[in-house]
Structure 1
């Protein structure tokens, strides 16, 4: 009996809080109405603020991702994040430059190493100083050529992987940004919890609970 009495008191307390909140809202509305009437008496025109809900475009994220896939940075422009486009271009452009530089150096050392193995001594690394027709020992050894081409090949492959990752990140950023721009945070969203009391028609026992209302 005491347990049921305590539950009933709890629900009455929660209900009182809800009703007090509703009374506060009604009181605020009355204050707003009285202020509007007072302004009208003084000749001041008060216009009610109106809010226009932005329509959600479910294809916007896909379009942004597609544009960034075709041309990096174009999806960011589509999302009106213009300041991101130069960052995308600079990051991917740097990756392409590093890849191109290392690939060119790798080809230079590889060609010289292949000619050495073929028995030629006319590569660009054999005599780096003044021309010496009787020179028999190269300025850059065969092992140094091999180490150099392996180093530039490793750096070239790493630059390629980083550039691909930046390209994928550019697409992901455009897609996620388009999703976040349409995130619904308007005032029509609400969450309400109220006490619930019902009588069982068969046993006549009271059923206690809470009702949760979500409004979208």
Structure 2
């Protein structure tokens, strides 16, 4: 009966520990956890991307990269500003050209001839469309940044795994050699 109790107590006390190192105490092997493993959540990058898609910058806040939020809003705000400004000027040139074709002369662009009004329309339409593409690109970049950053946060980067440059003298010529060392500690 005492053997059964001993076996049950042994499994209950060591069942939660992981076997990375073993220490001998009183003739019984007891497992010790020497490395603390960080749980990896595979849905974290998807959550960050979703949050950034719903509200730009929210994925960066979810990743605790608060310094990126002003960059996101600066890029999106600037590109939206240029879209609105170019759209306003495009409609101004288009309305002036249409009113000139109907026989009316507007005061604000009266000094331009018809060819200049057409060229102005094309210029501002092209810049408006380019600003819309840049806005969409910054929005997509915001989502991609949140997704990639959330995925990279989960990587194990500590002193046990490192690549460092090393300078060492050559034994024969005494010249300095350059190399890389890969350290992996268990």
TM norm. shorter chain > 0.5: yes
Which residue of the other structure, out of 128, 131, 141, is the alignment partner of 1:169? 141
Which residue of the other structure, out of 132, 137, 152, is the alignment partner of 1:160? 132
Encode CA deviations 1:162-184: one digit per residue, 9 max, x unaligned: 11111101100100100000114
Which residue of the other structure, out of 49, 56, 66, is the alignment partner of 1:72? 56
TM-score w.r.t. the length of structure 2 is 0.64
Q: What is the match of residue 117 of structure 2?
A: 145
CA distance in structure 1 between the aligned counterparts of 2:159 and 2:112, rounded to whole angstroms = 74
Q: What is the match of residue 118 of structure 1?
A: 102
Flag the structure with higher strand content. Answer: 2
Q: What is the match of residue 86 of structure 2?
A: 102
Does the alignment pair 1:84 with 2:68? yes
Deviation at 1:122, TM superposition (A): 3.7
Does the alignment pair 1:52 with 2:24? no
CA distance in structure 2 between the aligned counterparts of 1:88 and 1:103, rounded to whole angstroms = 22
Q: Which runs of 5+ in 1 are unaligned?
A: 1-49, 127-138, 190-216
Q: What is the match of residue 62 of structure 1?
A: 46
CA distance in structure 2 between the aligned counterparts of 1:160 and 1:142, rounded to whole angstroms = 27
Q: What is the match of residue 193 of structure 1?
A: none
Contact 1:112-1:123 at 8 Å conserved across structures: no
Encode CA deviations 1:46-95: one digit per residue, 9 max, x unaligned: xxxx7633211111100000010011111001000111111111011100
Q: What is the match of residue 24 of structure 1?
A: none
Deviation at 1:112, TM superposition (A): 0.5
CA, structure 1 residues 125+185, in 2 after alignment: closer, same or farther (shift >3 Å)? Answer: closer
TM-score w.r.t. the length of structure 1 is 0.56
Counterpart of 2:41 in 1: which secondary structure? coil
Q: Give 1 or 2 for the bigger CA radius of gyration.
A: 1
CA distance in structure 1 between the aligned counterparts of 2:115 and 2:36, rounded to whole angstroms = 72
CA distance in structure 1 between the aligned counterparts of 2:58 and 2:38, rounded to whole angstroms = 23
Q: Which runs of 5+ in 2 are unaligned?
A: 1-33, 162-186
Q: What is the match of residue 178 of structure 2?
A: none
